[in-house]
Structure 1
Amino acid sequence: MFCCGVMWKSGGEDLQGFYPVRPECQSDVPRTRFKSRAGKTLSARRWHAAFTEDGHLDIVRVLRRIQRGGVHPSIKGAVWEFLVGCYDPNSTFEERNRLRSQRREQYDAWKEECQKMVPVIGSGRLITLSVVSENGQPIEDSSSENQGWLVKTAISDQRVLQWMLSLHQIGLDVVRTDRYLSFYEREDNQARLWDVLAVYTWLNPDIGYVQGMNDICSPMIILLENEADAFWCFERTMRRLRENFRATTTSMGVQTQLGVLSQIIRTVDPRLHQHLEELDGGEYLFAIRMLMVLFRREFSFMDALYLWEMMWAMEYNPNMFASYEEPENRNGNVAETDPKVLKQCGKFERKYMKSGVHSHSDQHSTLAVFVVASVLETKNKRLLKEAKGLDDVVQILGDIAGNLDAKKACREALRIHEKFLRKSKKQ
């Protein structure tokens, strides 16, 4: 049977069975450390028991369990929708069903709008070749099966043109995304990822499409069987990450987070920061990939998902849903220091709020930055002893792929966060 778009295996003994790997890729995939642990991991039984009869969710109970041992693969999609702010835990089953229906209709309308411009969208296929030239002229491709599906007339509208120019790049990235997973052997699954990214790019011309968004979106496509649900989960996730992808001719948005990382290491480990500065690595550009795609390259697929849900649970704030639905009330209607609100927050968010700041008011001080700091700290001795140049730094950090423990990384990140807050207060 299938659940949340992934294979169900009773008992959860073979968790890798939820995200089967193509046989020829087995040797190239980082080993998975995540194990479902009774009494720690949020199980399907515990998840369903956390709802009242009419559908209110005991989010405190859920967060506590996730922070201890992650989420069982059979329920990841449903849990993630709450973690990223798609649904308010205080809503009922009926309210959520109504909202889900509205969102599905809205996504279908946006997709239809895109389909009128490029008919291949929604066809179960995708494109990897340009459909228009930079001056807006249609590009003929007589050898392609896509002939007749593409653009027929010259494009003069700049927003439409910029969007169309991005479609083949999205396609090229999609066919390379998580190719070792059996899920993407089917072109219609690749097409679902392409459709969601194409629609998102159309709706967000200020950001457009940037390589790496495919890595963020892919798990949602795999976990959530309905494409519209996957889109909204991705859209909510991108609200946290979109500034990382904002680019100008001279800088990337992620550089702001790199600046925060520099400040953290300078504060908690001045010797390491000094050493990196001497190697011309004081801008921490070697950490761009970790922050842009949230460690997708440093962890196996399952471990990356485990890390994400651990971070989201630790950063959770109950006012997040209200602020997403009503942007003009981004701070919510409830005082951030309200004990009831504090109790419902994740560990990381709670400590921030107690310190007089709250992490969602500064999107650059996310837990992910402290996780990168924790990675640097675990490699402290090697970096100080062996790194004679930036290439050495990159190589030493490259060795962590497949060898990182998500729970330990988060635990260490919280320790560094506490140390950083303590030292910053003194300074």
Structure 2
Amino acid sequence: MWGAPAEPADSYYEVRPECTDVPETKFKIRPGKTLSVRKWQAAFDPDGQLDIGKTLGRIHRGGIHPTIRGEVWEFLLGCFDPRSTYEEREQLRQERREHYEKWKTVCREIFPVIGSGQFITAPVVTEDGQPIHDPLVLQEADNAAGASTESSEIVNDLFSKGPLDKRIINWLLLLHQIGLDVKRTDRSLVFYEKQENLAKLWDILCVYAWIDTDVGYCQGMSDLCSPMIILLENEADAFWCFERLMRRLRVNFRCTESSVGVESQLSHLAMVTQVIDPKLHQHLETLGGGDYLFAVRMLMVLFRREFSFCDSLYLWEMMWALEYDPDLFYLYEEPTLSLEESKMRSRSMRHYGKFERENMKIKSDEAPLPISVFLVASVLKEKSTKLLNEARGLDDVVKILNDITGSLDAKKACNEAIKLHKKYLKKVEEGKR
């Protein structure tokens, strides 16, 4: 209702009372600005086709009401085609749930703790694929696995059929690391006081590590997956939402012997900063920070550590609404489809996010830079004076950037990112003349 007071969103993501150092949430549910249940439902026609153009601007202005956040995210991340019907989406959802369950069954047959409601934090195999029979390690695994499953039996069963193949060894080596990260993820939230929720997060990450053999699992992925567990009750639905998010971000986590995937975005960040704030870029280079490694965390986990849990969700959905491409679903589902063919499916520019519309004006063979790069650039721009005056070494740069935790405004950061994007494109175009 217009004129109604803003509602704090904290109650939807309850924080444990003993966690007093959690950043205060700035996001509020604002009637007339936040995408409400009523406005969301009104965007569908009787068959279930979504006029997503009606929602993008509202998400940018005021975010999404927490009660519908999960289902809206499924569209923003490309899980569903907005032009699909209720019936088509339900059929696809069931197919995906079955697909996930098949993968999970394969994982469970290799390592029965998967799907048991428990998880492990101790390794069970060595890097050369030998079983670990250290009593202390096995005791920890037993405590995690529960009384119904002895980890020593699991280890023995693993090797009873002969040597393990390389894929299985590589996967098993990740399981305890995933468990350690799961224990640390969003531990301030009451939601993760329940063992079953921690286990669900572990299961999803383990299954993902099994199917994505290039990336497997890297630290930070638990931070990206955690909100999906909270917002989507069904584990398979949460998995597919996370899988779609990883389609965007997995390049950041890909590692080779000589490089880490995120280095590409760091170089883009350096390029953007050099154009919009050459003085700051020169200062950072002088300090030995020209590789911008101090910004890795912000790019890898999309500001999860710089914002409260609630505000980070607000930031994400604004980013996705601004970057939204209505053909995302087809680009993921039909990778052989050319960009030109996919664009023919769209009829209105208003179905694209504001940031994406700006990118579409660019005549270039190169992929456009993601909004996350401009978000980090906006933070550096905001702290430019402080960095220039106070940073005398890389430690100072890190300290100044760490001090922003809890003080950033998600909407302001997004708006500044859009301004910098326009400024950057304009200067690049001027440089070509």
Do both proteins adopt the same fold according to a TM-score greater than 0.5, normalized to the shorter chain? yes
Q: How does 1:326-341 map to 2 (within 5 A)?
A: 326-331=334-339, 333-335=341-343, 340-341=347-348
Report what 2:388 is aligned to. 384
C-alpha distance in structure 1 between counterparts of 2:79 and 2:236, whole Å: 12
Q: SS of the counterpart of 1:153? A: helix
How far the C-alpha of 1:340 sits from its partner, in A, is: 2.7
Amino acid at match of 2:261: G
Aligned: 1:282 with 2:275: no
Confirm whether residue 128 of structure 1 aligns to residue 136 of structure 2: no
Deviations 1:221-272 (A, max 9, x none): 1100000000000000000000000012332100100000000010111111
Query: Percent identity at matched positions?
Result: 58
CA RMSD of aligned residues (A): 1.6
Residue aligned with 2:408, SS? coil
Q: Judge conservation of contact 2:311–2:410 (CA < 8 Å) in 1.
A: yes
Superposition deviation, residue 332 in structure 1: 5.7
1:255-294 equivalences under 5 Å are 255-294=263-302
Letter in 2 for 1:15: A
Note if contact 1:128-1:171 (Cα within 8 Å) is conserved in structure 2.
yes
Out of 349, 354, 362, the position equivalent to 1:347 is 354
Structure 1 letter corresponding to 2:347: K
CA apart distance, 1:280: 0.7
Q: Secondary structure of 1:184's partner? A: helix
Deviation of 1:156 after TM superposition, in Å, equals 2.4
After TM superposition, give the deviation of residue 132 of structure 1 in Å. Answer: 1.3
On the 8 A contact 1:63/1:313 being kept in 2, the answer is yes
- Decide whether the 8 Å contact of 2:8 with 2:27 is kept in 1: no
What pairs up with 1:12-411 in 2 under 5 angstroms?
A: 13-25=7-19, 27-140=20-133, 141=135, 142-143=138-139, 144-145=142-143, 146=145, 148-149=150-151, 150-151=154-155, 152-154=157-159, 155-331=163-339, 333-335=341-343, 340-357=347-364, 362=367, 365-411=369-415
Please give the per-residue CA displacement for 1:297-339, whole angstroms capped at 9, x wherever unaligned: 0000000000000000000001111111111115262447x98
C-alpha offsets along residues 156-198 of structure 1, whole Å, 9 cap, x if unaligned?
2000100001000000000000000000001110000000000
Distance (whole Å) between structure 2 residues aligned to residue 332 and residue 294 of structure 1: 30
**Distance in structure 2 (CA, Å) of the matches to 1:294 and 1:203:** 23
Cα drift, residue 342 of structure 1: 2.4
Work out whether residues 110 and 158 of structure 2, in 8 Å CA contact, stay in contact via their aligned partners in 1: no
CA contact (8 A) 2:387 2:397 kept: yes
- Once the two structures are superposed, residues 362-391 of structure 1 have per-residue CA deviations (whole angstroms, 9 ceiling, x without a partner) of 27x100000000000000110111111111
* Alignment-mate amino acid for residue 203 of structure 1: I
Asked if structure 2 preserves the Cα contact closer than 8 Å seen for 1:42 and 1:65, the reply is yes
Distance 2:51 2:185 in 1: 35
Q: Distance in 2 between matches of 1:282 and 1:129?
A: 38
Cα pair 1:50 1:58 within 8 Å, conserved? yes
Q: 2: CA distance between counterparts of 1:417 and 1:371?
A: 9
Counterparts of 1:339 and 1:116, CA distance in 2? 44
Task: Look up the equivalent residue of 2:208 and give its one-letter code.
Answer: Y
User: Residue 30 of structure 1 contacts residue 402 of structure 1 at CA under 8 Å; is this kept in 2?
Assistant: yes
SS of 1:175's partner is: helix
**TM-score normalised by length of structure 2:** 0.92
Structure 2's unaligned 5+ residue stretches are none
The C-alpha deviation readout for 1:30-82, integer Å capped at 9, x for no partner, is 01110111111101111111111110111000111101111011110000000
In structure 1, distance between residues paired with 2:413 and 2:378: 6
Over residues 97-126 of structure 1, what are the superposed CA-to-partner deviations in whole Å (9 max), with x where a residue is unaligned? Answer: 000000000000100010000000001000
Equivalent in 403, 420, 424 of residue 420 of structure 1: 424
- Contact (CA 8 Å) 1:316, 1:346: kept in 2 or not? yes
Report the equivalent of 1:8: none
Letter in 2 for 1:226: N
How big is the shift at 1:15?
1.7
Question: Tell me, what secondary structure is at the counterpart of 2:339?
Answer: coil
- Return the alpha-carbon distance in structure 1 between the equivalents of residues 165 and 210 of structure 2: 13
Question: In 1, are the aligned partners of 2:266 and 2:296 still within 8 Å (CA)?
Answer: yes
| Amino acid corresponding to residue 417 of structure 1 in structure 2 | H
The whole-number CA distance in structure 1 between the counterparts of 2:39 and 2:326 is 20
Hey, what does 1:4 align to over in structure 2? none
Q: How many residues align?
A: 412
3-state SS of 2:158 partner: coil
Moved beyond 4 Å, runs of 4+: none
Counterpart of 1:277 in 2: which secondary structure? helix
**SS of structure 2 residue aligned to 1:139:** coil
Report if aligned partners of 1:319, 1:332 keep a CA contact under 8 Å in 2: no
SS in 1 for 2:406: coil
Q: Distance in 2 between matches of 1:229 and 1:115?
A: 19
